[in-house]
Amino acid sequence: MSEFYLACYKGKKQGKDLKTLLFKSLDWLVRKATGGEYAHCEIAVSRHDGQFDCYSSSLRDGGVRVKTMHLPSDKWDLIPIQQDYLSLIYRLNTHFGATKGQKYDYWGAIGVVWRIGRQHPKRWFCSEWCAKVLGLENSAQYSPNSLAHRFQLINSFTRK
C-alpha cells in the first residue's frame, strides 16, 4: 500500500543563471516571510521504485500538476499524513481532477506571506492546494511552514 506524505522543500537550488537566481530569491522570501525552513510543499505518494508521485501547484511548473520525483532527504522533509487512507485518496483524486492544469496563484501566495487574504478561485499556490486535499478549512491561510508545523504537531500527539 502506498504511503502519503506532506513533502516540504528545504533545499537550495544550485546555479547562477537568471531563472535559478529568481527562484532562489523567491524561495528565500517565502522562508523569511513565513518564519521557517520550507519554501514549497507537495502531497507525495510513495511508489515501489523509491520515487514519489508528487501533487501540488508549482510556481516552477506553472500550476497544478503531478510529477514523479526522487525526494532526497537533504532537500526534502517527508511528514507522514496520518488520515483515513480511503478518504485521503478520494480527496486527492477529486481535487486533482477538478484543478489539474489550473494556474499558479501568485497573488494568493503573496497574500499568505503578507496576510492580506487575496485569492483567486481558479488558481492555487502550493500549500493552499495541499491543505485543500488534506481537508482543512480556509486552505488559503496556510504557508508551507504553517502546514508542516500543523502536521508535525498532529504526528507528535498520535505517536504517544
In terms of phi and psi (left: phi > 0; alpha: psi -120 to 50; beta: otherwise), the region of 12 is beta
Q: Is 23 helix (H, G, I), strand (E, B) or coil?
A: helix
Q: Which of 139, 154, 114 is nearest to 41 (CA)?
A: 139
Residue 103 Rama label (left phi>0; alpha psi -120 to 50; beta): beta
Do 9 and 40 contact (CB within 8 A), yes or no? yes
Region at 71 (left for phi over 0; alpha for psi -120 to 50; beta for the rest): beta
| Nearest in space to 10 (alpha carbons), one of 69, 81, 72 | 72
Query: How is residue 135 annotated by DSSP?
Result: T
Answer whether 63's CB lies under 8 Å from 102's CB: yes
How confident is the prediction along the chain (160 residues), in pLDDT tens digits per residue? 679 999 999 988 788 899 888 888 888 988 998 899 999 999 999 999 999 999 999 999 999 999 999 999 999 999 999 999 999 999 999 999 999 999 999 888 888 776 666 677 899 999 999 999 999 999 999 999 999 999 999 888 875 5
Select from 144, 99, 98 the least CA-distant residue to 124. 99
Residue 83 cell numbers, joined: 488520515
**Whole-angstrom Cα distance, residue 54 to residue 46?**
9
CB–CB of 43/6 below 8 Å? yes
Are the CB atoms for 99 and 124 separated by under 8 Å? yes
pLDDT at 106 (0 to 100)? 86
Residue 53, strand partner residues: 45, 68
